[in-house]
């Protein structure tokens, strides 16, 4: 793989760097060979070690002449791929400079950061590194066509894409809901308690907080020993801050039991009162990291 790093130098954002890499390597192999890519841009070694103190690290110089990536060898193969992508983001985004000279050390919590205030430089660097990792491992030029070819949203499609891109189900689910044409959200729960919520800004406010129980009337809370549920039409008020008597708001819910009490839930939102713009399309302001569109869709049975 040949990468001209001079062309990357003026690409300040994660998305611009990814776009330039994909321009230079239009036939990028899927799953993305992230270690080969790292070598192509100047990483001289990827060192795996057993550690409980951090998930990944980068040793380099301010000018990024070369670098060494450190990876927690205890992590799953998919987690290690994301970690390499994360540290590669730090390496390629020149504005990222570590607090201690020449070295980034990133925790598992750092690799879960999805938002940051503009004045929180350290947190913003971690968010951008995460955006880079997700974007280069699941490049939208390839991911979105693959996703659309699978058809209307479903958890089995998330799992199919996770296998194709050699990513974790959870990381794939986040990319999936951010870039679906339908307005979707994914809820991750364990033993009936909500642990994480992934949704674009266009999805309405979910009136269930992390750390609280799944709402009792939800399909997810009722999921028994079956590994995967059928689709269920539920009133939006089960999950959203919408009065139960407002009947025209509906959600479709699907749940899948993963392992050890973990459940992944997919919610699809339809609002019959959506206002259309002058072109007859639902208006949308899309943000690549925090923010998709809902075309007319038949109800599942």
Condensed to tens digits (0 to 9), the pLDDT of residues 33-57 reads 999 999 999 999 999 999 888 999 9
What pLDDT band is residue 236 in, cutting at 50, 70 and 90?
A: confident
Residue 289 has pLDDT above 50, yes or no: no
Q: Show the tokens assigned to 40.
A: 């192509």
Residue 221 has pLDDT above 80, yes or no: yes
Of residues 62 and 275, more confidently modeled: 62
Of residues 58 and 270, more confidently modeled: 58
Residue 224 confidence (pLDDT):
62
Question: What is the phi/psi pair of residue 175, to 5°?
Answer: -60, -35
- For residues 176-194, give the mean pLDDT: 95
Check if the beta carbon of residue 93 is closer than 8 Å to that of residue 17.
yes
Strand ranges in 90-228 using DSSP code E only, listed in sequence order: 103-106, 184-190, 193-198
Distance CA 200, CA 218 (A): 21
Residue 237 has pLDDT above 80, yes or no: yes
Residue 4 confidence (pLDDT):
94
- For residues 211-215, give the mean pLDDT: 94
Query: Sign of dihedral through CA atoms 212, 216, 217, 221?
Result: positive
Residue 278 confidence (pLDDT):
31
- The DSSP symbol for 281 reads S
- For residues 203-220, give the mean pLDDT: 92
- For residues 173-187, give the mean pLDDT: 95
Residue 88 has pLDDT above 90, yes or no: yes
């Amino acid at each position: 793989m040949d990468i001209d790093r001079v062309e990357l130098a003026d690409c300040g954002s994660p998305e611009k760097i990814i776009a330039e890499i994909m321009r230079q390597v239009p036939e990028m192999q899927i799953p993305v060979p992230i270690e080969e890519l790292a070598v192509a841009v100047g990483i001289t070694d990827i060192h795996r070690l057993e550690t409980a103190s951090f998930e990944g690290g980068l040793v380099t110089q301010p000018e990024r002449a070369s670098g060494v990536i450190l990876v927690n060898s205890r992590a799953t193969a998919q987690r290690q791929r994301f970690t390499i992508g994360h540290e590669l983001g730090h390496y390629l985004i020149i504005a990222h400079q570590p607090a201690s000279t020449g070295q980034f050390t990133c925790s598992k919590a750092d690799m879960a950061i999805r938002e940051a205030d503009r004045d929180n430089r350290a947190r913003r660097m971690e968010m951008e590194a995460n955006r880079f990792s997700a974007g280069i491992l699941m490049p939208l030029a390839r991911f979105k066509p693959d996703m659309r070819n699978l058809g209307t949203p479903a958890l089995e499609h998330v799992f199919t894409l996770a296998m194709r891109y050699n990513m974790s189900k959870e990381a794939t689910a986040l990319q999936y809901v951010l870039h679906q044409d339908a307005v979707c959200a994914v809820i991750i729960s364990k033993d009936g308690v909500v642990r994480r919520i992934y949704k674009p800004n266009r999805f309405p406010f979910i009136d269930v907080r992390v750390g609280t129980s799944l709402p009792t009337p939800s399909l997810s809370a009722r999921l028994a020993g079956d590994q995967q549920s059928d689709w269920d039409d539920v009133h939006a008020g089960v999950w959203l801050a919408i009065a139960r008597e407002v009947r025209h708001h509906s959600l479709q819910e699907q749940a899948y039991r993963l392992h050890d009490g973990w459940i992944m839930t997919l919610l699809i939102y339809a609002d019959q009162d959506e206002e259309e713009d002058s072109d007859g399309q639902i208006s949308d302001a899309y943000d690549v990291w925090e923010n998709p569109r809902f075309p007319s869709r038949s109800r599942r049975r």
